[in-house]
Amino acid sequence: MPPETSESMNVSKPLEGKVALVTGASRGIGLAVAKSLSTMGAKVGLNGRDEKKLAIAAEELTEAGGSVAAVSADLSHSTDIAPLVRKVQESLGPIEILVNNAGIGYFGPVHEASEENWNMTLDTNLKAVFLVSKAVIPGMIRLQTGHIINIASLAGKSAFAGGAIYCASKWGLLGLTQCMAEDLRPHGIRVSAVCPGSVNTEFSPHAGKDPRKMLQPEDVARVVETIVTQEPQSFISEVSLRPTQKP
- Is the predicted pLDDT of residue 224 greater than 80, yes or no? yes
Whole-number pLDDT of residue 212: 84
Kind of pairing between the strands at 19-22 and 146-151: unpaired
Burial class (CB in 10 A: 0-12, 13-18, 19+), 37: buried
Domains of the chain (ranges; CATH) run 15-241 (3.40.50.720)
37 closest CA partner among 237, 226, 230, 235: 226
Q: What is the pLDDT of residues 79-108, one digit of tens each?
A: 999 999 999 999 999 999 999 999 999 999
86 closest CA partner among 21, 27, 25: 21
Whole-number pLDDT of residue 209: 77
pTM: 0.93
Reply yes or no on whether 166 is catalytic: yes
Catalytic residue among 166, 173, 177, 199: 166
The DSSP H or E segment spanning 44 is: strand 43-48
Q: What percent of the chain has pLDDT over 70?
A: 93
- Edge to edge, what strands does the sheet with 43-48 contain? 68-72, 43-48, 19-22, 97-100, 146-151, 189-196, 238-241
Mean pLDDT of 43-71: 97
166 closest CA partner among 93, 92, 103: 103
Mean pLDDT of 236-243: 96
Whole-number pLDDT of residue 176: 98
